[in-house]
Structure formats: C-alpha cells, structure tokens
Amino acid sequence: MLVVLDRYAFVSMAAALATMGIKVAGYLGTASVGLLADALESTVNLAAAMLLLFALRGARKPADRTHAYGHGKLEFLVSGVEGLLVLAAAGGIALAAFERVQQPVPLTSLDLGMGCVLLAAGINGVVGWMLLRAGRRHRSLALEADARHLFTDVASSAGLFVALAVMRVRPEWWMVDPAVAWLLAAHIAWTGGDILVRSIHGLLDAGLDDDELQALDDVLRDADVDYHALRTRRAGRQRFVDFHLLVPGHMSVQESHALCSQLEASIERRLPGTQTVIHVEPRDDGHVENVQRPGVQEEESCDTTKSSSASCS
C-alpha cells in the first residue's frame, strides 16, 4: 500500500509539471494575467506534490525511542505547509492582477489560451479524482489535501476559460481578465485556509470523525460492556483510542485481559490502523462515576468526543 501511495505522489508531480508547462505556454501566447495566475498555482501544485511525497515517506517510519507513537503527524504538518503555499499563491495572483489594472496589456491568441486552459483542467481533474479516492481509501490527509488543491485549480481554470471566451467576443472588456484573477485568488485563499485549519486540528489531537466514533460505539455495544473516560485522536493514517473498561470486581486478571484483547481486536477489524489502550476498573468501585453504556447519550457535558460515545474525565 505504501508503495502505491508513493506512486500517487509521483503522478501528482507529473501532472503539476505538465499543467505548468501548458499554462506558461498559454500565458506567453496571450499575455493574460489570468493564465499567469493559473500557471503560478500550478507551480504551487508542483511544490505541494513534492511535499506530499516527503510526507508519505516520512509518516510511515516506524515508532522509535524518540517518537513512541510513530511519525503520522508529519502528514498534518506537511498539509499545513501546503495550505500556506496555497495562501501565498493567492496573494501573488491578487498582486499580479492589481499590476495589470495599473498597466493594461492587450491580449492576443485567445483561442490558444482557451485550449491550454481546457487541457490543463482535464489533466488536473483526472489526477485530482484519483488522489481523492486514494486519500479516502487509505485515510491520508496529505493525499486528500493535494486532491482538493487540484480541484481548486480545475475550478479556477473553468472561471478563466469563461473570462477568455468573453474577452474573445468583447475585446474592450479587458477588465474581465484581472477581475477573474481576483476571484480566483479569493477562491484559492479560502481553500488554502481550510487546508491549514484541518492540519492544525490534526496537530492539536482532534478527536475522530463522527462516523468513526459511531463505528467504535457499535463495537462496544455489540460487546455489551460498560466504560467511561473515552478519548480518541488521529495521527496521519493512525487512530488512537483509550477508555476505562468496567468489569465485575470478581473477574480475574486473566479474564479481564482476555476481554480487553477481544475488544481491541474487534476495534481493529472495524477501524483498521487503530491502537487501543484499555484501563480496567472494577464495576463495584464506589469511586467510579459517569459510567457509560454504548449508544446511550450521557447527560453530563463532555469535551473530547463528537458523538454518543462521549468521554468524561
């Protein structure tokens, strides 16, 4: 699987190189600042693809004495850098559009420009779809971030194509070119900000998604166990779960261990890549509070999960 993920990173780099060359050729032929903006975004795509390969290879390094939980968070860090690159590209596009308003340049060979835009959009659309499917299948935020970046490029190219078509019919509407560039810059900035926020959430140990929490709740419900103090987090493609399991006071250590092993195996089958830590407590301990039954919403407010499998300290 890991070699396959590397291949997706190389495909992304190849697409970035191809579309960058196509858009630069279109800009040189038309002098459109919109095409220049699109070419600049492809340059960012290339840098993002290189970062993606670095993240995928670094995040899969096994745990060591210094990083006992592995290196999965590297994906979040690299995704954050990609978000910053996208924001920088948006700023550069906005600046180029402003300069074009100050110093207008007549556009030429718009048919060439429109063809270049369509070709580049097609390449990015196909590659983005491939990366998105792979990212969701392998739970890779880095792949998903790169895919969303490419889809942003496709949307940008669609707007640019319309602008070039309008200016081909009405050359006097030259302001459409920088106006579209500003719109693209705003859209790109929104995408970059979203990628950055998601990466920050990951670095700050945000809990698992609602569907994952529901799957965890289903496993515990099927096992018919009581628990509390549930906590979850993610590090790249790895998930981490820990909770306190309540067992009868007369249950032996061996029996408790067997039950924990069964629960851990069930969670791993339902949520592959999950490391589970279970702390056993006797059910008849008078100090145990906030006991939770799977599928039952606790009345007390909690702050570490997002579903009925709430956790309280």
Q: Which of 53-57, 248-252, 253-257, 299-303 has the lowest mean pLDDT?
A: 299-303
Question: What average pLDDT does range 98-124 have in this prediction?
Answer: 87
Identify the top-confidence range among 17-31, 154-168, 186-200: 17-31
Which one, of 1, 18, 17, lies nearest residue 56 by Cα? 1
Cβ-contact 217, 307 below 8 angstroms = yes
Q: In this predicted structure, what is the pLDDT of residue 302?
A: 39
Whether residue 123 has pLDDT greater than 90: yes
Topology, domain 2-203? Alpha-lytic protease prodomain-like (1.20.1510)
For the ranges 47-61, 130-144, 221-235, which has the lowest average pLDDT? Answer: 47-61
Residues 6 or more apart whose CB falls under 8 angstroms from that of 154 comprise 121, 124, 125, 128
Strand partners, 278: 243
* pLDDT-derived band at 4, boundaries 50, 70, 90: low
Q: Residue 292: pLDDT band by 50, 70, 90 thresholds?
A: low
- Residue 25 Rama label (left phi>0; alpha psi -120 to 50; beta): alpha
Rg (CA), the chain: 25
Q: Is the pLDDT of residue 289 over 60?
A: no
- Taking residues 162-187, report their average pLDDT: 83
Taking the mean position of all CA atoms in its chain, how far away is CA 63?
23
What local confidence, expressed as pLDDT, does residue 167 receive?
84
pLDDT tens digits, 63-85? 777 776 777 777 788 878 878 88
Tens digit of pLDDT for each residue in 247-268? 988 889 999 999 999 999 999 9
What pLDDT does residue 121 have? 93
The CATH number of 206-313 is: 3.30.70.1350
3-state helix, strand, coil in the chain (%, to 5): 65, 10, 25
Report whether pLDDT(285) > 50: yes
Mean pLDDT of 79-101: 83
With contact defined as beta carbons under 8 Å apart, do 75 and 236 qualify? yes
How far, in Å, CA of 38 to CA of 185, rounded? 10
Using alpha carbons, select from 201, 241, 202, 248 the residue that is nearest to residue 225: 248
Q: What is the DSSP string of 54-87?
A: HHHHHHTSPP-SS-TT-STTHHHHHHHHHHHHHH
**How is the chain split into domains, by residue range?**
2-203, 206-313
206-247 tens-digit pLDDT:
788 888 889 998 898 888 888 888 999 887 778 899 999 999
In Å, how far are 31, 148, 153, 226, 301 from 124, measured between CA atoms? 22, 10, 7, 49, 45
**What is the C-alpha to C-alpha distance for residues 207 and 223, in angstroms, rounded to an integer?**
22
Percentage with pLDDT > 90 across the chain: 17
| Cβ proximity of 295 and 221 under 8 Å | yes
At 286 the pLDDT is 52
- Whether the pLDDT of residue 303 is over 80: the answer is no
Reduced to 3 states (helix: H, G, I; strand: E, B; else coil), residue 293 is coil
pLDDT category of residue 300 using cuts at 50, 70 and 90 = very low
Mean pLDDT of the chain: 80
Residue carrying structure tokens 């790109």 = 188
